[in-house]
Chains A and B, each alone.
Chain A
C-alpha cells in the first residue's frame, strides 16, 4: 500500500508539474512566436539553447544549476541580493530546474503550431486593421489551440517524470523536494519493492494514458 510519504510525493510532483507548465506557457509562448516569425541570425542559437535539454543528461543540468544557484554562482548571488536566499533544496529551485528541463517540450509544439498558421491569416488580419495584439488573440491563439494543448500536456508529463535534476538540486526533503521519481529510487535502494511497484506502475499508467490521449486526439484531427 502507498504510504503517507508516497502520497506527499505524488501531491508535490503534481504541484511542481502544474506550476512549471503554467510558467512555461507564459514564457514559452512569446519565445515560440519569436522563433516562428524571426529572420534574425540569433534564431539558430536560441533554438539550439531551447532544445539543449532534449540531449543533455539531466545530471548535467542539475549539476550546473547546483553550481550557478549556489552562494558563489551568478544566480545564487542574484537571488541573495534580491533577498530570496538560495534556491537549491527548495520548491522554487525545483521549479527553476523544471522550467529549463521541460522548455523544449512546450516551446517546440508551440513553434510548430505558429509556423503552421503561415502568413496569410496575419495579412488578412492586417488588411482589416487588426493590431498586433488583437491579431494574436483573435487569430493566432484559436488557430494554434491544438499546439497549446500538446505543449501543456507534454510539459506537464515531462516534469512529472523528472529525476536527475531533482536528485542534484533537491536534497530529498519530504514534502518540499522529494518527488515521486526520487521516492521510487529510495524505495528500490531500500529493497521496498512493493512500494516501488505501486508508484512505478502509477507512473507508467499515467504516462501511457497521457500519450495515448494525445495521439488519439492528433490522429482524430487529421481525419
Chain B
C-alpha cells in the first residue's frame, strides 16, 4: 500500500515538473486598440495552455521604434499590416510567421448621445470645438481617420480642431472625458456584447479608408519560445476568434 502511494506521489511529481518545464512565458507587444480583447484572450490562453502571456499596450509606431532598438518583445500584434512586414524585412521578425489576426473597424464616437449621427454628417457641419484622432504618424487608426476626413473633403476645414492622442487609448480618453466632443476610435473600444457601450457613433464605411488589416508576427527574440508559437496557434483558433468577433472586429 505504502509502495503504491509512494509511486503515485512520484508520478504526480513527475507530471508537475513536466508541466512546469513546458509552461513558458511570452512577452507580447499589443496595439492599443486590441487591449480589451487581448486581455480576455490571454486569460483564457493561460488557463488552457499553462503558458503565461505578459502584455504591453501602446502605439504601433512606438513599438516599432522600440523593437528596432532591442525591446525584449517576442510577439507583436500590430494595428496594421505594414509594420510587421517592415520588421520582417529588417530581420527583426521571424520570416513567414506573419498573419492577420483581426480587421479593425474605425468609428466616429461621442461620449454623449445624439452628437454623432449615423451618416457622419456632424463632420460636415463642424459644430464642435475638438475632434480627437490618434497620432497619424504612429497609429494606423489615426492615419485611417485622416484618410476619411480627406475623402469627405473636410480635412482642411477641420484641421484646426484636431487634437492628437499619443495612441488610440489616449484618443478614447480625450473623448470619454468629454474634453473632445467626438473622435475617431476603434470600434472595439466602444463596443461590448454586441452593442455600443454608450454615447453616439457612426461606423465609418470600410471604403472610406484602406482596410485596417491587423497583422501579428513572431519577433526574432521569440523564435525559440514555445509559448510564442502556442499563442499564435491560439489566436488563430476558434475560442480567440469568438472573443475577437465579440468586440466588433472582422476576420
Contacts and interface: CB of A to CB of B under 8 A. Distances in A.
Greatest chain B CB density within 10 A among A71, A168, A171, A172 is at: A171
Interface stretch (B32-40, B56-64, B211-219, B235-243): B56-64
B179 A191 contact: no
A173 B132 CA distance: 11
A172 B136 CA distance: 12
Given A86-B129, A89-B163, A188-B65, A66 B179 contact: yes
Interface in B125-149: 129-130, 132, 135, 137-138
A173 B164 contact: yes
A189 B164 contact: no
B164 A86 contact: no
A168 B167 CA distance: 11
Greatest chain A CB density within 10 A among B61, B135, B179 is at: B179
A172 to B, nearest CB: 4
B138 A66 contact: no
Contacts of A173: 162-164
B166 A172 contact: yes
Interface in A147-199: 167-169, 171-173, 185-186, 188-191
Contact of B179 (A69, A185, A189): A69
A71 B175 CA distance: 11
Contacts of B173: 66
Given A88-B179, A186-B135, A189-B65, A171 B166 contact: no
A85 B61 contact: no
A41 interface: no
A72 B178 contact: yes
Contacts of A104: none
A125 interface: no
B180 to A, nearest CB: 7
A109 interface: no
Interface string A60-87: 0000001101111000000000000110
22 contacts: A66-B174, A67-B177, A70-B177, A70-B179, A71-B179, A85-B129, A88-B179, A89-B163, A89-B179, A171-B163, A171-B164, A171-B165, A171-B174, A172-B165, A172-B166, A186-B135, A186-B137, A189-B137, A190-B137, A191-B64, A191-B65, A191-B68
